[in-house]
A and B are shown apart, each in its own frame.
Chain A
């Protein structure tokens, strides 16, 4: 008998027993006979001409199979890395990036040679013996200087350092500003951060020469994407190229593109006729896995003294790095969402993408929405401070209240109840008591602060009508549902998982929709050899798009099962009732057939006239709109004015992601997401030396990843406003925590330092930074 109502059940992840007992299958667990190992020789310079490379000593080193440079890969890797057109279809400059530098290295960490050896120790030994003659060139590191005419160039064959310059005007901005009682200006930064996955990248390539066939095991969010591009560049048709990604230990957006090393390992396997393994070490990871954020916003807000928001002007300066990330321009979405959950008469945004001699930036958990939220929530607090109004009330006064709501840029927010989540969060933290306590502590010379973040975000990427024109790809999703003769169910999907619990939550959906036991449903993903084409997992899309593709296949299976039941009962299909996986003739529930029985029949003899055998379906789902989660986070902090150290006293979150499939999984996503946002607010920053372009944060000793000890207790709560966009009524929750949290912390710190007259604090709010600000304010 099927367990009913799995959707919404707080059940434990079926992934966990395997993972927590060490039985996961990560990339370094893949081992093949005769496998060689790759070590990558990387440029130590941010910018240098490569005069020559001497590989002779490395070649003579113990256990070395091959030492390969750009010249060796020419003719094997046939094309450059891909770049999508997200939001900026008319990019100014799209320089081609090849997986290995030939004449000019343009970021510290760029591959210049690879060593293939019998084991990784020997490969690393030999890598130290590869002698590269570099001529250092000026490193372009400062965004504004890079834009100036006559600036040194990131790469010598480019006309300038501008990747794009795009305007996003919406409404009569001059009229909105003319109406204002006051205008405030601020510069708001988004430091570069590293999407730190517990499992670094890595791959194993096995090219079989006699039939031009290749299998590539890789740690990725997008196996089908990798197959399309790496296979294409290597001249192996998709039918012959299989990408396998088993368990993935985190991605956060940094594993949603094909990387140079995947091309290099595959090509090296082709050249050496051996399987080739490459595992990224942590220092390589910090240097050569894409970074997130890296932006500056110059913003002006026009408002009235009664708290009414009127107009918003801002320019996003985005540090592209040396080459476009595959999806780097996606982060321009910050411009379209800069208005947040508020009514504006007009918004005028501009995005300038600027090349620098750094690693590329690409989406990182939230990708554009944390930036937009940080911007608008900072601006609202500036307005509140200016007019002496409670920040909660400025928000309340300007909330969008009617749905669906078309924002200034034409995006349609599907559903929302912003005031409700604000009220709930304020009640949960006991806001009046907290303010009273703040007043008492200030009298004692203690500095506490309260910070709000009321956010709305776009996810469920996305409708082909929007994504195809914006990004050049239609972000639909796929599923294949197959009911086997004895009733167990295999579901193959085009999405993948790198911690999202799809094996659990997708099975919950299928169990309810087909009316079969949860344990009888197996979810398969990550292997292009047995899954339908899909675009992978990012942008909180897997449930709202991928989950709906599963629903579509389940519906087809149920339709066919009804026909089988009608045939078995010699009844009309219209008279068949389906109740929790039991099929019976209306009025006669006692004589029912389970789906397993109908599945068995579907593979047997005596099918209805014209019916094919089997019980399975394939579906592709193209959503009608994006989905729009929202919520309110409130953070309470205390700052030690003598050391600048920040402690988080409370963290309350009320999130609304529509209907919930598994509350435990949603809570887990929020925990991780909030932690990453807090971490950006307080700790993380990828730092390069401004003059030389050397990375200063090349190990985990320097780059700060917080631990449980730095995190407050998360007080989670939710409201449920179902999405009208899809049948499940779901939105997304993978990124919401990160989108909301950094600004809740920063607004709280700014509030704590209000007695010093401090109005704005940049991230990360390091103790030394706050100490300097307090010292300056006191002087």
Chain B
């Protein structure tokens, strides 16, 4: 519970951050909210040579709607998403997920981008971003890249982010259709990682059929999972109990859980199915009640 020695720096400009990252490579670690990194340091699971604190860099926080996207600064706190009630009706799944992240103390400090980049398989934002089809803006000294959420998560704590890059923004496309979504999470207690969680986001067309569907699964695999077969089964269809049950079954099949102290693989897979089923009912009900 006492970390190994490390250097610490808190640059005031993004350029300095990027320069330090290119200089130190894997020896450096970016510190944002610290809610995952600090425990890892204390347990000596991580022992970086230098911590680059991005807390003093301007322009990395805030939620705004621009050019058909909701843009979330990477250092935006979970708490700020929780209170962004203007997203209700557009991105319900974000608003439902945010208050289920750990506890208020962690939500006040932890950041959306930090959580995504940390890529814990039981991190909540990964599944949400997969469901809403987000893109991640990442910068390095050599330039900027935009990475889609689908494909970003490669394994436990492993992503497409290079060691010289820092995430600056999350972009979520928002169209004109009626949308609804929700996030359901089974946690053993408040503050625990999810045993299973599911993110669901649907958009209804003018004909009442499902125009787009996103389903993200949390804590049931080596990384956050996009349930693509289930999504495909929904698109173009008129909502029905049978359709939802079938999509939920496909989502359960997409899960790749491992048995641990939170339950057997069979159990987690079935809870994923149950939650996608419940989540789709809620999401579609919300979308049907929404105005385009």
Chain A residues packing against B (C-beta within 8 Å): 120-121, 124-125, 128, 281-283, 642-645, 683, 687, 696-697, 699, 701-702, 704-707, 709-710, 766-768, 771-772
Contact B2 A702 (CB under 8 A): no
Question: Which residue on chain B has the smallest CB distance to residue A764?
Answer: B188
Contact B193 A701 (CB under 8 A): yes
- With A696-B261, A699-B43: A706-B195 Cβ-Cβ less than 8 Å: no
Residues of A within 8 A of B262 (CB): 768
Question: Which residue on chain A has the smallest CB distance to residue B260?
Answer: A696
Question: Which residue on chain B has the smallest CB distance to residue A284?
Answer: B1
Contact A683 B188 (CB under 8 A): yes
- With A282-B1, A643-B274: A683-B189 Cβ-Cβ less than 8 Å: yes
- Give CA–CA (A556, B39) in the complex, Å: 56
Whole-angstrom distance between the Cβ of B175 and the nearest chain A Cβ? 33
- Give CA–CA (A709, B192) in the complex, Å: 12
Which of B44, B192, B264, B271 meets A704, CB within 8 Å? B192
Question: Which residue on chain A has the smallest CB distance to residue B190?
Answer: A709
Residues of B within 8 A of A121 (CB): 2-3, 5
Question: Which residue on chain A has the smallest CB distance to residue B193?
Answer: A701
Question: Which residue on chain A has the smallest CB distance to residue B274?
Answer: A642
Contact B267 A772 (CB under 8 A): yes
- With A697-B261, A704-B188, A768-B267: A281-B193 Cβ-Cβ less than 8 Å: no
Further contacts, 7 of them, CB under 8 A, given A121-B3, A124-B2, A645-B186: A121-B5, A125-B5, A281-B2, A282-B1, A642-B270, A696-B261, A771-B263
Residues of B within 8 A of A705 (CB): 189
- Give CA–CA (A120, B195) in the complex, Å: 35
B15 within 8 A of A: no
Residues of A within 8 A of B192 (CB): 701, 704
Whole-angstrom distance between the Cβ of B285 and the nearest chain A Cβ? 19
- With A766-B188, A768-B262, A768-B264: A707-B4 Cβ-Cβ less than 8 Å: no
Residues of B within 8 A of A699 (CB): 43
Residues of B within 8 A of A768 (CB): 195, 262-264, 267
B191 within 8 A of A: yes
Whole-angstrom distance between the Cβ of B45 and the nearest chain A Cβ? 10
- Give CA–CA (A321, B274) in the complex, Å: 41
When A and B form their complex, which 4 residue pairs have the shortest distance between CB atoms, in order from nearest? A768-B263, A281-B1, A709-B190, A768-B267
Contact A706 B43 (CB under 8 A): no
Interface centre among B1, B4, B39, B264 (most CB of A within 10 A): B1
Whole-angstrom distance between the Cβ of B259 and the nearest chain A Cβ? 9
- With A120-B2, A121-B5: A702-B264 Cβ-Cβ less than 8 Å: no
Contact B263 A766 (CB under 8 A): yes
Contact A283 B274 (CB under 8 A): no
Contact A643 B188 (CB under 8 A): no
The number of residue pairs between A and B whose CB atoms lie closer than 8 Å in the complex comes to: 61
- Give CA–CA (A707, B102) in the complex, Å: 11
13 of the cross-chain contacts (CB-CB < 8 Å) are A120-B2, A121-B2, A281-B1, A283-B1, A283-B43, A642-B271, A642-B274, A683-B188, A701-B39, A704-B188, A710-B190, A768-B262, A772-B264
Contact B270 A125 (CB under 8 A): no
Question: Which residue on chain A has the smallest CB distance to residue B278?
Answer: A642
Residues of A within 8 A of B261 (CB): 687, 696-697, 702
- Give CA–CA (A679, B259) in the complex, Å: 23
B103 within 8 A of A: yes
- Give CA–CA (A644, B267) in the complex, Å: 10
By secondary structure, the B interface counts as: loop
By secondary structure, the A interface counts as: loop
Which of A283, A687, A707 meets B190, CB within 8 Å? A707
Residues of A within 8 A of B39 (CB): 701
Contact B191 A707 (CB under 8 A): yes
Which of B2, B5, B190, B270 meets A771, CB within 8 Å? B270
Residues of A within 8 A of B4 (CB): 125
- Give CA–CA (A643, B279) in the complex, Å: 14
Contact A767 B1 (CB under 8 A): no
- Give CA–CA (A535, B9) in the complex, Å: 53
Chain B residues packing against A (C-beta within 8 Å): 1-5, 39, 43-44, 103, 186, 188-193, 195, 261-264, 267, 270-271, 274
Interface centre among A120, A124, A768 (most CB of B within 10 A): A768
Contact B267 A771 (CB under 8 A): yes
Residues of B within 8 A of A128 (CB): 44
Residues of A within 8 A of B274 (CB): 642-643
Question: Which residue on chain B has the smallest CB distance to residue A62?
Answer: B5
- Give CA–CA (A642, B261) in the complex, Å: 19
Residues of B within 8 A of A704 (CB): 188-189, 192
Question: Which residue on chain A has the smallest CB distance to residue B2?
Answer: A124
Contact A767 B190 (CB under 8 A): no
- Give CA–CA (A704, B192) in the complex, Å: 8
Residues of A within 8 A of B270 (CB): 642, 771
Residues of A within 8 A of B264 (CB): 768, 772
Contact A643 B186 (CB under 8 A): yes
Residues of B within 8 A of A125 (CB): 4-5
Which of B5, B189, B195 meets A709, CB within 8 Å? B189
Question: Which residue on chain B has the smallest CB distance to residue A709?
Answer: B190
Residues of A within 8 A of B271 (CB): 642-643, 771
Contact B2 A706 (CB under 8 A): no
Question: Which residue on chain A has the smallest CB distance to residue B103?
Answer: A707
- Give CA–CA (A768, B264) in the complex, Å: 7
Question: Which residue on chain B has the smallest CB distance to residue A285?
Answer: B1
- Give CA–CA (A683, B262) in the complex, Å: 11
Contact B195 A767 (CB under 8 A): yes
Interface centre among B3, B44, B192 (most CB of A within 10 A): B192
Question: Which residue on chain B has the smallest CB distance to residue A125?
Answer: B4
Question: Which residue on chain A has the smallest CB distance to residue B4?
Answer: A125
- Give CA–CA (A709, B105) in the complex, Å: 14
- Give CA–CA (A697, B188) in the complex, Å: 14
- Give CA–CA (A676, B170) in the complex, Å: 42
- Give CA–CA (A706, B3) in the complex, Å: 27
- Give CA–CA (A697, B261) in the complex, Å: 9
Residues of A within 8 A of B2 (CB): 120-121, 124, 281
Whole-angstrom distance between the Cβ of B279 and the nearest chain A Cβ? 13
- Give CA–CA (A702, B193) in the complex, Å: 9
Whole-angstrom distance between the Cβ of B273 and the nearest chain A Cβ? 9
- With A707-B103, A707-B191: A767-B186 Cβ-Cβ less than 8 Å: yes
- Give CA–CA (A771, B191) in the complex, Å: 22
Whole-angstrom distance between the Cβ of A14 and the nearest chain B Cβ? 29
Residues of A within 8 A of B190 (CB): 707, 709-710
- Give CA–CA (A709, B188) in the complex, Å: 11
Residues of A within 8 A of B188 (CB): 683, 704, 766-767
- Give CA–CA (A183, B195) in the complex, Å: 40
Question: Which residue on chain B has the smallest CB distance to residue A768?
Answer: B263
- Give CA–CA (A704, B190) in the complex, Å: 10
Residues of B within 8 A of A707 (CB): 103, 189-191
Question: Which residue on chain A has the smallest CB distance to residue B42?
Answer: A281
Contact B103 A767 (CB under 8 A): no
- Give CA–CA (A696, B193) in the complex, Å: 16
- Give CA–CA (A643, B277) in the complex, Å: 13
Interface centre among B44, B186, B261 (most CB of A within 10 A): B261
Whole-angstrom distance between the Cβ of A502 and the nearest chain B Cβ? 31
Whole-angstrom distance between the Cβ of B161 and the nearest chain A Cβ? 24
Residues of B within 8 A of A683 (CB): 188-189
Whole-angstrom distance between the Cβ of B157 and the nearest chain A Cβ? 15
Residues of A within 8 A of B191 (CB): 707
Residues of A within 8 A of B189 (CB): 683, 704-707, 709-710
Question: Which residue on chain B has the smallest CB distance to residue A128?
Answer: B44
Whole-angstrom distance between the Cβ of A410 and the nearest chain B Cβ? 43
Whole-angstrom distance between the Cβ of B278 and the nearest chain A Cβ? 9
Residues of A within 8 A of B193 (CB): 701
Residues of A within 8 A of B195 (CB): 767-768
Whole-angstrom distance between the Cβ of B85 and the nearest chain A Cβ? 22
Whole-angstrom distance between the Cβ of A203 and the nearest chain B Cβ? 17
Whole-angstrom distance between the Cβ of B151 and the nearest chain A Cβ? 28
- Give CA–CA (A642, B267) in the complex, Å: 10
Question: Which residue on chain A has the smallest CB distance to residue B277?
Answer: A642
Whole-angstrom distance between the Cβ of B248 and the nearest chain A Cβ? 11
